[in-house]
A and B are shown apart, each in its own frame.
Chain A
Amino acid sequence: MIKSVLLVGVVRVLRNIGHQVTRGIWRLGAGARLFMLTMIYSGESFRRFRMIVREIYFTGVMSLIIILVSGFFVGMVLGLQGYNTLQKYGSSDAIGVLVALSLVRELGPVVTALLFAGRAGTAITAEIGLMKATEQLSAMEMMAVSPIARVIAPRFWAGVIAMPLLAALFSMVGILGGYLVAVPLIGVDEGAFWSQMQANVDWQTDIVNGVIKSVVFGVACTMIALFEGYDAPPTAEGVSHATTRTVVTSSLAVLGLDFILTSFMINV
């Protein structure tokens, strides 16, 4: 008796795992298909750039406040923590390098992408999910207008364009925050702060790579948000689950991709 109960339990667990795996693969394929379609229909949305501009407003401009404020605080914290550690080794002049490199290489692109997923990504998922639930996407199709060209592609490109700009602003404001903490507050020499930073932050390996990262994150976060909305069951519950999944999946994707990209970049 106990044996059979155990067997049933094991079978159930295995079946669950199998279900999750097949579902994951299915979703990956469906997501890739949506990405391909988005690429195919992108020409149409670029011809009417106004639609992309409109979406940049909703994804980029609307995320501006949270990005700037977070960047500023992250920079100030880096300034404090960095100084605290560096001064033990008598190299508090290197505080500028530490703040700038941390932001430009890692924190700028990554934290921006995480905030973007929470702010703009969820909004995109909810909007598309609701459009689907209220048959707006079907209505568009019946009017011989492709929802992918009209709804998905403009949002995708808006996200891809907005992300590196947001990340650059995040880093810039963060460096400003670090500067304010290090120089006027703590009293690190201003010249040392900037000159050390300039001598050690490289245009190619640090800044360009940071921008590449944020473009990749922009593609990933926006695509995930769009797919979750497009794939959401057309009910209130379905849409709310989809927005949650957007945050979880985007965050994991950003951190995973960050590791992969960094491991490629650090060798160079």
Chain B
Amino acid sequence: MERTTIDLWVGIFVALGLAALLSLAMKVGNLTTSNIGETYAVSAHFENIGGLKPRAPVKSAGVVVGRVSDISFDPATYEAVVNLSIDKRYQFPKDTFASIFTAGLLGEQYVGLEAGGDETSLANGDQITQTQDAVVLEKMISQFLYNKAAEPSAEANKDANAGSASTDSGADALGSSPLDNVGN
């Protein structure tokens, strides 16, 4: 009698423990999204990847389609080589555009893919040629400050078109990248 009680309790204990492990893996961890399904590898060169890390998500239209498999440095071109493994179910045209975005203001960085119009699709081992670097906060701030510094002179010669034109282009550069990133 005692023996069967012990067996029952141990059975319950082990089942509970395994269930906890499984739910940690499925519900808490990302086992379901990361390791399931076959992938193909493509690479992309960036001049600056900011804080991008291996295993960061690759998103297209906000949907996770793959992961950053590894990051290395190419000493010939002084560029960062980012290898992406993308789910086989999703095919992208050859002229797809890869950018490094930040989720939220201080969130983690990820690679965003914007499909182009090419007929042929990216295959295993291909390289994405069109890339946009990560936004580095310090660069952005210094650019902003530079523009601010340029402003008073622009105001002084309101009639002078040349001055305002340069300010506009600067403001565009500043305005477009981070806001787009957030929206994406």
Q: Which residues of B contact A183 (CB under 8 A)?
A: none
B20 touches A168 (CB 8 A): yes
B28 touches A201 (CB 8 A): yes
Given A54-B6, A61-B10, check contact A198 B17 (CB 8 Å): no
B30 touches A199 (CB 8 A): yes
A166 touches B29 (CB 8 A): no
Query: Which partner residue on chain B sits nearest A63 by CB separation?
Result: B13
Q: Which residues of B contact A197 (CB under 8 A)?
A: 28
Query: Which partner residue on chain A sits nearest B12 by CB separation?
Result: A61
The CA-CA distance from A89 to B7 in the complex, in Å, is 50
B30 touches A198 (CB 8 A): yes
B30 touches A169 (CB 8 A): no
Query: Which partner residue on chain B sits nearest A53 by CB separation?
Result: B10
Query: Which partner residue on chain B sits nearest A68 by CB separation?
Result: B16
B28 touches A100 (CB 8 A): yes
Q: Is A190 an interface residue (CB 8 A)?
A: no
Interface-side segment among A113-121, A132-140, A203-211 = A203-211
Q: Which residues of B contact A89 (CB under 8 A)?
A: 106
Interface of B is mostly: helix
Query: Which partner residue on chain B sits nearest A198 by CB separation?
Result: B30
Q: Which residues of A contact B30 (CB under 8 A)?
A: 198-199, 201-203
The CA-CA distance from A197 to B29 in the complex, in Å, is 7
A61 touches B13 (CB 8 A): yes
Q: Which of A53, A54, A172, A200 contacts B24 (CB 8 A)?
A: A172
Against A, the Cβ 8 Å flags (1 = close, 0 = not) of B1-33 are 000001101101110111011011101111101
Q: Which residues of A contact B33 (CB under 8 A)?
A: 198
A203 touches B21 (CB 8 A): no
Query: Nearest Cβ distance between residue B127 and chain A, in whole angstroms?
Result: 27
The CA-CA distance from A261 to B14 in the complex, in Å, is 26
Q: Which residues of B contact A251 (CB under 8 A)?
A: none
The CA-CA distance from A43 to B79 in the complex, in Å, is 55
Q: Which residues of A contact B55 (CB under 8 A)?
A: 202, 205
A198 touches B28 (CB 8 A): yes
Q: Is B177 an interface residue (CB 8 A)?
A: no
Q: Is B184 an interface residue (CB 8 A)?
A: no
Q: Is B151 an interface residue (CB 8 A)?
A: no
Q: Is B91 an interface residue (CB 8 A)?
A: no
The CA-CA distance from A161 to B17 in the complex, in Å, is 10
Give A184-235 interface residues, CB cut-off 8 Å to B: 194, 197-203, 205-207, 211
Given A54-B6, A60-B10, check contact A207 B17 (CB 8 Å): no
Q: Is A80 an interface residue (CB 8 A)?
A: no
A211 touches B10 (CB 8 A): no
Query: Nearest Cβ distance between residue B59 and chain A, in whole angstroms?
Result: 11
The CA-CA distance from A200 to B30 in the complex, in Å, is 8
Give A60-104 interface residues, CB cut-off 8 Å to B: 60-61, 64, 89, 91, 100, 104
Q: Is B57 an interface residue (CB 8 A)?
A: yes
B21 touches A168 (CB 8 A): yes
B6 touches A165 (CB 8 A): no
A165 touches B34 (CB 8 A): no
Q: Which residues of B contact A161 (CB under 8 A)?
A: 14
B24 touches A168 (CB 8 A): yes
Given A172-B23, A200-B108, check contact A166 B17 (CB 8 Å): yes
Query: Which partner residue on chain B sits nearest A170 by CB separation?
Result: B20
Query: Which partner residue on chain B sits nearest A194 by CB separation?
Result: B27
Query: Nearest Cβ distance between residue A60 and chain B, in whole angstroms?
Result: 5
Q: Is A171 an interface residue (CB 8 A)?
A: yes
B14 touches A165 (CB 8 A): yes
Q: Is A160 an interface residue (CB 8 A)?
A: no
Q: Which residues of B contact A171 (CB under 8 A)?
A: 20, 24
Binding site for B on A (CB under 8 A): 53-54, 56-57, 60-61, 64, 89, 91, 100, 104, 161-162, 164-166, 168-169, 171-172, 175, 194, 197-203, 205-207, 211
Contacts A60-B10, A168-B17 given; 17 further ones with Cβ under 8 A? Answer: A53-B10, A56-B10, A56-B13, A57-B6, A57-B13, A60-B13, A60-B14, A165-B21, A171-B20, A172-B24, A175-B28, A200-B108, A203-B30, A203-B35, A206-B29, A207-B25, A207-B29
